[in-house]
Amino acid sequence: MMKDPVCGMEVDEKHDHAEHEGKKYYFCCASCKWAFERDPKQFAK
């Protein structure tokens, strides 16, 4: 299980993902992915 960086929900690696600086981030829904893609530095740890 991975943690959605936007909302903190635990998600399976089968969910949608995006990459930032070579690392994959997984999301529970399209709106969390959209928020991350707008400003990835705000959510990337």
pLDDT of residue 29: 96
> CA torsion sign, 17 to 30 to 10 to 41?
positive
pLDDT of residue 36: 97
Domain boundaries, the chain: 2-39
pLDDT of residue 45: 72
pLDDT of residue 33: 97
- 11: tokens are 């998600």
pLDDT of residue 8: 96
What does the pLDDT look like over 1-45, one tens digit per residue?
A: 999 999 999 999 988 999 999 999 999 999 999 999 999 999 987
Q: Are 11 and 2 in contact (CB under 8 A)?
A: yes
**Tokens 């994959």, residue?**
24
